[in-house]
Structure 1
Amino acid sequence: MARLFARTRATSRDEALVRSLYEEHGKALLAYAVRLTGDRAAAEDVVQETLVRAWRHADNLMSKEGSVRAWLFTVAKNLIVDKVRAKAARPAEVAETPAAVAVAGDHSQRVVDSMSVLAAIEGLSEEHRTVLMEIYFRDRSVAETAQELGIAPGTVKSRSHYALRALRATMAGRAALEGTPA
């Protein structure tokens, strides 16, 4: 019973210490944490955790030489550094939205789409296919493509125009057959 009474008295003494620490240093500690985090809510969490640690180490605080304020600010800074390091150590969280799921979609559909586009490209004439390969797959300009193929830039433009028109028509025809939008 005496042990329980002593513990209760020590707990109330520790709680009084934390209250007095908050009253004396709370505003400055919060301002310091806001300055370091840039986020008031996160700073309030840091102040709360700092005071919890002060409560857990109340005996050390009362018997410790030096500034209690310096101890509190050091604990707050260390908590913030730990949170920054923990956040940097794990990948960023991304909320999964229905649109993101739809974009990720089914890999097999992307494979089918790729195969359809390749088949449509193979259906083009050699001249049209070569121009598209140079411009879109090798990322060359009209002038670079003209020089590479040894034809006039106007011919490159004309062939790419008609090649894209033929691809659109082929893909629209395939989509109509499959019952999907082009």
Structure 2
Amino acid sequence: MAGLSRSARQKVADEALLRSLFREHGGAMLAYAYRLIGDRAAAEDVVQEALVRAWQHPDALVNGRGSVRGWLLTVVRNLVTDRARARASRPLEVAEPPVEAAVAHDHADGVVNSLVVGAALGRLSAEHREVLEQIYLLGATASEAASALGIPLGTVKSRSFHALRALRAFLPGLEAGLERSVS
């Protein structure tokens, strides 16, 4: 050590001090922190921070004001208390949904499609529109639509076929959504 500069000797001494403190008191510090927190990773973080505080204030360890272990455990308790207070003063953290979930629940496309389909439905004749409303909007079967509209079943099937064909001409990009069989 004679060939080392003063700062290099200090660094070696600091490292030796921290290793010694951890070897002698690290187990007790970790056990105490874990008992207070209940989370091993968080307890390890607290012990690490307590050792940094010991490194920053080496005079507190050697000036004879009490036991080194007592001082270190007090630092651990204070750090745990500070963490709890900081967590209590912040609002609860809410995890953001994954990007895929946010996109899957995005209703903008549905709104646009509704407007476009609504405009296309407005271009159909009233008879064709009534049949599609019964089948697609109200969920009626072809027989139920015929009964509700007071027209024969064959007429419902014919009108729905021609109405869908007209919609496909108005909406070439939305064909997949209109592929529902009429029974």
Identity of aligned residues (%): 46
What SS class does the counterpart of residue 105 from structure 1 fall into? Answer: coil
Q: Flag structure 2 segments of 5+ consecutive residues without an equivalent.
A: 115-133, 141-163, 168-173
Question: What residue is the counterpart of 1:78 in the other structure?
Answer: 78
**TM-score for both structures, normalised by structure 2:** 0.53
In 2, Cα distance between equivalents of 1:168 and 1:26? 73
Q: Flag structure 1 segments of 5+ consecutive residues without an equivalent.
A: 114-166
Greater helix proportion: 1
Question: What residue is the counterpart of 2:21 in the other structure?
Answer: 21
In 1, Cα distance between equivalents of 2:41 and 2:82? 17
What SS class does the counterpart of residue 97 from structure 2 fall into? Answer: coil
Question: What residue is the counterpart of 2:102 in the other structure?
Answer: 101
In 2, Cα distance between equivalents of 1:85 and 1:98? 32
In 1, Cα distance between equivalents of 2:69 and 2:103? 53
Deviation at 1:21, TM superposition (A): 1.0
Question: What residue is the counterpart of 1:92 in the other structure?
Answer: 93
Count how many residue pairs are aligned between Structure 1 and Structure 2: 127
What SS class does the counterpart of residue 5 from structure 2 fall into? Answer: helix
Q: Tell me which amino acid in the other structure corresponds to 1:74.
A: T
Going from structure 1 to structure 2, the CA distance change for 1:168 and 1:100 (only over 3 Å counts) comes to farther
Going from structure 1 to structure 2, the CA distance change for 1:169 and 1:14 (only over 3 Å counts) comes to same
**TM-score for both structures, normalised by structure 1:** 0.53
Question: What residue is the counterpart of 2:57 in the other structure?
Answer: 57
Q: How does 1:101-180 map to 2 (within 5 A)?
A: 101-102=102-103, 104-106=105-107, 109=110, 170-172=137-139, 179=177
74-83 vs 99-108, greater mean Cα deviation: 99-108
Going from structure 1 to structure 2, the CA distance change for 1:26 and 1:108 (only over 3 Å counts) comes to same
Deviation at 1:78, TM superposition (A): 1.8
Deviation at 1:108, TM superposition (A): 8.4
Deviation at 1:170, TM superposition (A): 3.3
Going from structure 1 to structure 2, the CA distance change for 1:168 and 1:31 (only over 3 Å counts) comes to farther
Q: Tell me which amino acid in the other structure corresponds to 1:170.
A: L
Coordinate RMSD, CA, aligned: 3.6
In 1, Cα distance between equivalents of 2:91 and 2:76? 22
In 2, Cα distance between equivalents of 1:25 and 1:68? 9
Deviation at 1:25, TM superposition (A): 0.7
Indicate the structure (1 or 2) with the bigger Cα radius of gyration.
2
In 2, Cα distance between equivalents of 1:99 and 1:59? 55
